[in-house]
A and B are shown apart, each in its own frame.
Chain A
Amino acid sequence: MNRVLTVARLQFVAWPLVFGWPWGILALSFLVNLALFGSIGDVDPAPVTGGLSSIYIVMLVACVTTITQDFPFIIGLGVSRRSFYLGNLLQFGAQAVAYAAVLYLLAVVEEATGGWGIELTFFGLPLLLVDNPVLRYLAFAIPFLLLGLLGIAIALVFKRWGVNGMLTLSAAAIVGFGGLGVLATWRGWWPAIGGWFADQSGGALLVGYPALLAVPLAAVSYLIIRRAAP
């Protein structure tokens, strides 16, 4: 456990980079939106920017680069794969928890200020209309975790099987999803699929299913890292 904490701490050795990128890009995106919609004046309906997704994408990219760069370094320093993995999980988990809390607060401020005075919805989640604060918080946090784990898994496939592994994974994803798409078109399933998504609550889409996906992803990543060489 001690070593797991050490690995988690290692990630914050260069903390300006760890925090600077996601929040810097989010801030930039927010300022651009603010300036843009502030200058346009009243828009109907009120704008929903999607700029919030930038911090999630940065987290995914950060996970991929962190794992690919840190794995040879930290294993090279003499840490077990288990400690490395759990330490990173802990560290990303802690980031997700903290970042979600900040985003939640910003969303509350946004509501209270009438969308920063110009009815801008930047931090508000479009799908989540429920007023359950726990669910709303989780809707910020769980997608962070899912994307983090996805990033870790992708990076580990690359570390263990190299470029060939990545190509195989991409090919499998394209064939799999493409095949399902073709199948859905051929059998005329799209309306049914659309209907299913529409029937799901925002909570299920942003919290429930991501959480269900995150667990097997975490398990698979652990199995991959066990036999990976730096």
Chain B
Amino acid sequence: MEDGRPIFLQIAELLENSILDGTLAEEEQVPSTNELAAFHRINPATAAKGVHKLVDDGTLYKKRGIGMFVSSGARAKLRGRRRDEFARQYVQPLLTEARKLGIDPAELKHMIDTWEEIR
């Protein structure tokens, strides 16, 4: 785990990433709290907190006596939320750095197009 950020948020994010990239399909069972704790070598209570965060926002749901499952529609919902965060997380620092270096927005757009072509 990465330092300096609550671990339960990182656990929640890792599960979200697995759902986004399809590793965890909708209606599929997610690893148990204890499995997560053992795998990431973290306190089980912390792992549980991460899972519960996703239950609270509806990404996961609980089947009594069996475990946690990915809700149907979770992937689309996550994608929507991540798109909203994208600007703040990636575009804003990009613009800040560009301004520091004197790169104007038009030039920046051009750079993006060039890199997209190379890819």
On whether A and B touch (CB less than 8 Å), the answer reads no
- Chain A residues with a Cβ under 8 A of chain B: none
